[in-house]
Structure 1
Amino acid sequence: MISEERYLMMYSKVAESVGSGKPIEVSLEGLAEALYCTERNVKFIVRKLEEEGFIHWQAGRGRGNRSKVTFLYPKEKKLLELAQHYASKGEYKHAFELIDSYGDGTGVRHQFVEWMNSHFGYRTELIDDLEADLLRLPVYRPILTLDPKDLYFAFSAHMVRQLFDCLVKYDRETEKIIPSLAHAWEHDEEGKEWTFHLRKGIAFHHGRDLEAEDVIYSLERLRGSSASGWFVRSITEIRKRGPRTVTIKLEKPNWLLLRYLCSPGMSIVPHDLVEQNEQFWQRPVGTGPFRFVEWTADRFIMEANPHYFQGRAHLDGVIIVTMPEDTAAFAKNWNQLLIDHDSKDFKPAQGWKKVESVSNGCSLLTWNRCKSGPQQSPHFRKAVDLLIDRYRMVAELGEDRMHPASGFYPGEASYKGATCQNVERAMELLKQSGYQGEIIKIATYGIHDKDARWLQRELTAHGIAVEVYLENWMSIRERKVLSDADCLLYCVVFAEDEVCMIELFEQTGNFLREHLDPELLEWVEAKIDNALACRGTDERWSELMDIEHKLRDETHVLFLLHKKYQMFYNPHIKGIGVNPLGWIDFKDIWLEKVSG
């Protein structure tokens, strides 16, 4: 493909204003300057391109007669073909780099993404003469980490779940804790000492059996971690009681410990490999349903773990392709791609299935109570709350926005309890707050840009000056961004109801914790300790809901909207389900082969 790239480079330097099929006067000296090489190399390149049928070259004869070159193919055609070639080899990043370099002023980028849409989805392909069921999906942000102790984002947590397992699992249908790596457990009467018994014969992907030392190491290494250290804050000792038995001792009662242990941040890793290999997290090894194959800037590849203790995945492999974020607007999402591409006549109107669910969380604005400004006034915060017409926000922005919110969790109580717009009262409160037109800085990141701009227009119309600072997935966590913003606009998604709510206040670096007033945070932490000491679910929820009510009633947080997940898929693809992280569980997907 070297000739194709040289053709594109030479075309962009020489023929951009003329196009293909027309002779263009050139000189070897000019070509050498344009291609950043010697005249000798230019002669070689020209001869090669002519031999391969890319150009027609007419050498100038005599003094003053310049040579002429005719480009035989439109740039757009060759650029699209070359990008498709590299994508077919899995070199997606290089394909987009070529388009970025040579595609200005063309429709190649859009055409290429449309072609990529047909490249994604569920397919049966031949690999080494054997059929393999593969799922190839696009994402528009990279996997930031696969280390359980560094998890902040739902997508990274989902990928960790594919490679690793926890001691126990939470079954959302039965609302019960079920065995995973541990087949049994017991605790004392106070909820301060918990003992876990590991299954026999569970092997890590590299072949060694799981042992007690792996559990001890995996939990101990979380101490001091910004993202996951809070899980082990009250653990005083982790003791080996036998080859496959571990006891965890706590400083205080924690009747949610089992739910903590279901979290991806508490995944069990092989102690020997992590300790010995600094590159472990670039090639991770776990016990999960899929095992690592490859991780590059272009893609992440997993293959089914044939020895998985809870049953082999039906898929043979999953390929996650990292697409440029700016292609998301005209590319398909993963939930539109679960189709059998070999079934040419199958269309949604002919019986496709639909899965729709409300995301277990909400979008919200958190006020920076650690910074001086209008947001320190409860009157100002309440005025902003009353100016936001959440029902109109849903209607005007549409897409995945479904219901107004008055709390973290979706449900009729949250929908009906949402603040109703009251402009007259809001303007009274704004006056009482002493607001003098100071600029309010809303910080957010890519996928929330539309919501932020909508809020900016609404608040500006009522005399509140707003600037939107659009960050990316990484920069939004920078200390300076967090401290400079007057408020943050983002979404929370709860994989584990009670645990994830507690995480908002316990996890270092979590947006809500970073912006809370220190005295309020102290009160919240005391309420959490009370909740953990409650053995009964109702009593525990009562303590946690006190936190939500205080945040809402005193407008430390403005709850905005609940969003939905929606997916259409071929009914011959079975095992489809959206997990609480908003992703499909890869392990259970399979294609029903239909004859005829």
Structure 2
Amino acid sequence: MDTATTHYLRLATAKELSLQFHEAVPVTIESLSAALCCTPRNVKFILRKLEEQSFIHWQPGRGRGHHSEMTLLRSVNEALEESFLELMGRGKMKEAIELIGSTEKNDALRERLLNSLNKQMGFHSHAESSSGQDVLRMVRSRRLAELDPAFVYTAFETYLLGQVCSTLITYDAKTGTFLPDLAHMWEYNEDHRVWVFYLRKGVRFHHGRVMTSQDVQATLERLRTVDSPFIWLYRDIERTEVVGDYCIRFYLSRPNRFFLNLLSCVSMTILPYDVDVTQQLIGTGPFRINEINETVLIISAFDAYYGIRPHLDRVDIWFVPNLGPYERHYELPGTDRLKLATDDTGSNSVDYPATGCRYMLINFRKAGIHHQLEFRQAMRIVFDPVALVRELGSNRITPANSFLPWKSAEHAWRESSLEDARELLYSSGYRGEKIILAYTVAKDQKEAEWLKQRGASIGLCIELQPFVEFPNVRETSEADLIIAEEVLEDDWQFGMINYFINKRNYFHICLSPDLQSVFYQKMENFLQQNEEQRSSLLNEAEDLLRDNCWILYGCHMNKKALLNQSLFGLHTAEFGFMDISKLWIKNQ
């Protein structure tokens, strides 16, 4: 914020001054000097500036023994809000967002500032050139997490990588087939142990160099070098052979019928061999990164993209932690903030019933009553999927008995009795001890409070432990239970096998080594099976989870968003996010 506002807030909040809004209060230069942390000479200069800008009324004392008087002409909230609007008007988004961060203890002001911020989100056309610049601004309720393909673990970051980078092939969920991308053709031998990929020519990375097969080879080697949590999936690759600049051959130790799935997933995002991705993310995708820090990610259209250039010229994604309940907004200036609703009149509506669900994890790394099966069975009833959907509603669309909605639909649903849960609690040996439930502030508040209330009705003492960042291993290590949400990739079989064996996710963090080994053994030959056999293995894995209450399924979600009618080219990318490479705005 500007210097005058900073000085004013120091004075207005100084306890030793006890200044009052619209009330003359006696002060001394010495006390003002202490509050402002400056010399008495500078105090007079600052007071003159504050009076000129109508922050205060200053009445200097006349003669010895007469105190000066100061009157605050603005409340602290007014000063903050005016400063915020001024920053927004000058395009200083970073400073404005930092100012929002300073209002955490003032919910009413914070809400007003967030509403003002949301009005600045959406499409903007800047006359920065003869043709103008089309810019889309978005806001996110948490900071950007890992954006390294070797370690990415969250849906939004995986989606972003798909806008900045590319893979050899892509999975088409509508047809269940694989399509060419950086590779225009591929072939394999009869036993699926030798795979050959032929690359497009002339594909350029964002730093200008042409992509070759050497980059593909280096991408795979990097997964091994950095010990990526995905490396288990690629353990069958014995060696790779570069056959010129535009052909690469993979030799496998055993047949692999899942190999195309592995080369279309985010971990095999092709990176340049001559750039350190930890310092600068360079890809071949439709957008390139201009700026990235904890406050903002700015990406711009890559004019040399090998596909169709995006219609948008730039996308600014601002990160405002603790923004509030998680919603997706794609707004235009001058419109009200669009929230999820059942009335879609006047807006384009996009529904994305996500593959995946909300669920509860049991932390087996921590000792406690939750190791008893009867206790987990009691929690299964407290976290009843039917009651969850019926009582909380919103975009919780159907009860879950699996990560897969079509499997949950086969279940004969009925609501369980909390009295049965009370009996199971007693049988488990529970005698009123505190159970810590961890949840993310932005998404899980309603479920957490709902669970606490239901638990209390049968004598279960649940203490809520909110956290912001995901995952936060330190904070959640003290929790007995964790509310989580998993949205699977369009290639749902890859999504599930990655969930079961990825060492970076909460599922792996919460399971004991013995339980982890159960899953690794069950999936030992997963990659060698055909599609039907793989589905059967995944069903068996979910049966283990369900029968032992190692996780408790909650509900399936609809990632619905409302968009202004001026937005066109609406296509969903993975996880239900808008494919911004296809968005365009119809100027009225």
What TM-score, normalized to structure 2?
Answer: 0.90
Distance 1:550 1:52, change over 3 A: closer
Deviations 1:170-222 (A, max 9, x none): 11122211111111111222222222111100001111000112111111111
1:252 corresponding residue in structure 2:
254
2:220 corresponding residue in structure 1:
219
SS at 2:401 equivalent: coil
2:321 corresponding residue in structure 1:
324
2:294 corresponding residue in structure 1:
297
| Aligned-partner residue type, residue 571 of structure 2 | G
1:231 maps onto 2:233 in alignment = yes
**CA positional deviation for 1:567:** 1.5
Question: Does 229-238 or 92-101 show the bigger shift?
Answer: 92-101
| Aligned-partner residue type, residue 316 of structure 1 | D
d(CA) in 2 for partners of 1:106 and 1:257? Answer: 51
1:451 maps onto 2:447 in alignment = yes
Does the 8 A contact of 2:194 with 2:252 survive in 1?
yes
**CA positional deviation for 1:89:** 4.7
**CA positional deviation for 1:411:** 2.7
SS at 1:552 equivalent: helix
SS at 1:242 equivalent: coil
Does the 8 A contact of 1:202 with 1:309 survive in 2?
yes
Distance 1:248 1:3, change over 3 A: same
1:461 maps onto 2:457 in alignment = yes
Mapping for residues 515-554 of structure 1, pairs under 5 Å = 515-516=510-511, 518-535=513-530, 537-554=531-548
SS at 1:216 equivalent: helix
Question: Does 22-31 or 139-148 show the bigger shift?
Answer: 22-31
Distance 1:200 1:404, change over 3 A: same
- Residue number among 457, 476, 480 corresponding to 1:481 in the alignment: 476
| Aligned-partner residue type, residue 314 of structure 2 | G
Q: 1 or 2, which has the higher helix percentage?
A: 1
2:437 corresponding residue in structure 1:
442
Q: CA RMSD for the aligned pairs? A: 3.0
Mapping for residues 158-237 of structure 1, pairs under 5 Å = 158-223=159-224, 224-237=226-239
**Unmatched segments (≥5 aa) in structure 1:** 275-279
SS at 1:148 equivalent: coil
2:304 corresponding residue in structure 1:
307
| Aligned-partner residue type, residue 361 of structure 1 | G
2:347 corresponding residue in structure 1:
352
Does the 8 A contact of 1:90 with 1:299 survive in 2?
no
**CA positional deviation for 1:137:** 0.8
1:572 corresponding residue in structure 2:
566
Deviations 1:254-303 (A, max 9, x none): 222211222222211111121xxxxx545422111111111233211111
- Residue number among 477, 480, 484 corresponding to 1:490 in the alignment: 484
Deviations 1:362-406 (A, max 9, x none): 111232345544333333323332344322222222222121100
1:394 maps onto 2:396 in alignment = no
Mapping for residues 40-189 of structure 1, pairs under 5 Å = 40-51=41-52, 54-89=55-90, 91-98=92-99, 107-128=108-129, 130-189=131-190
Does the 8 A contact of 2:17 with 2:27 survive in 1?
no
Distance 1:375 1:47, change over 3 A: closer
d(CA) in 1 for partners of 2:182 and 2:358? Answer: 34
Distance 1:134 1:99, change over 3 A: closer
Distance 1:106 1:531, change over 3 A: closer
Does the 8 A contact of 2:359 with 2:485 survive in 1?
yes
Distance 1:11 1:512, change over 3 A: closer
Does the 8 A contact of 1:204 with 1:286 survive in 2?
yes
d(CA) in 1 for partners of 2:445 and 2:336? Answer: 37
Percent identity for Structure 1 against Structure 2: 31
SS at 1:362 equivalent: strand
Question: Does 163-172 or 292-301 show the bigger shift?
Answer: 292-301
d(CA) in 1 for partners of 2:177 and 2:217? Answer: 25
d(CA) in 2 for partners of 1:272 and 1:548? Answer: 42
Does the 8 A contact of 2:397 with 2:556 survive in 1?
yes
Question: Does 92-101 or 486-495 show the bigger shift?
Answer: 92-101
d(CA) in 2 for partners of 1:74 and 1:350? Answer: 40
Question: Does 186-195 or 264-273 show the bigger shift?
Answer: 186-195
| Aligned-partner residue type, residue 242 of structure 1 | G
**CA positional deviation for 1:32:** 0.4
d(CA) in 2 for partners of 1:539 and 1:103? Answer: 52
d(CA) in 2 for partners of 1:4 and 1:67? Answer: 21
| Aligned-partner residue type, residue 575 of structure 1 | G
What TM-score, normalized to structure 1?
Answer: 0.88
| Aligned-partner residue type, residue 145 of structure 1 | E
d(CA) in 1 for partners of 2:434 and 2:505? Answer: 25
d(CA) in 2 for partners of 1:67 and 1:529? Answer: 81
**CA positional deviation for 1:311:** 0.7
1:365 maps onto 2:364 in alignment = no
Does the 8 A contact of 1:151 with 1:227 survive in 2?
no
SS at 1:328 equivalent: coil
SS at 2:331 equivalent: coil
Mapping for residues 375-454 of structure 1, pairs under 5 Å = 375-411=370-406, 413-414=408-409, 416-418=411-413, 420-423=415-418, 425-427=420-422, 429-446=424-441, 447-454=443-450
**CA positional deviation for 1:6:** 2.5
**CA positional deviation for 1:165:** 0.8
1:502 corresponding residue in structure 2:
497
Does the 8 A contact of 2:351 with 2:561 survive in 1?
yes
d(CA) in 2 for partners of 1:270 and 1:323? Answer: 31
| Aligned-partner residue type, residue 315 of structure 1 | L
**CA positional deviation for 1:435:** 4.0
d(CA) in 2 for partners of 1:385 and 1:521? Answer: 21
Deviations 1:549-572 (A, max 9, x none): 222123222111111111122333
d(CA) in 2 for partners of 1:218 and 1:360? Answer: 29
| Aligned-partner residue type, residue 359 of structure 1 | A
Does the 8 A contact of 2:386 with 2:399 survive in 1?
yes
Question: Does 32-41 or 288-297 show the bigger shift?
Answer: 288-297
SS at 2:351 equivalent: strand
SS at 2:374 equivalent: helix
| Aligned-partner residue type, residue 218 of structure 1 | T
SS at 1:562 equivalent: strand
1:277 corresponding residue in structure 2:
none
Does the 8 A contact of 2:136 with 2:316 survive in 1?
yes
Question: Does 188-197 or 101-110 show the bigger shift?
Answer: 101-110
Distance 1:432 1:151, change over 3 A: same
Question: Does 222-231 or 111-120 show the bigger shift?
Answer: 222-231
Does the 8 A contact of 1:406 with 1:418 survive in 2?
no
1:334 maps onto 2:328 in alignment = yes
d(CA) in 1 for partners of 2:97 and 2:84? Answer: 7
Does the 8 A contact of 1:368 with 1:487 survive in 2?
yes
Question: Does 580-589 or 506-515 show the bigger shift?
Answer: 506-515
Does the 8 A contact of 1:165 with 1:181 survive in 2?
yes
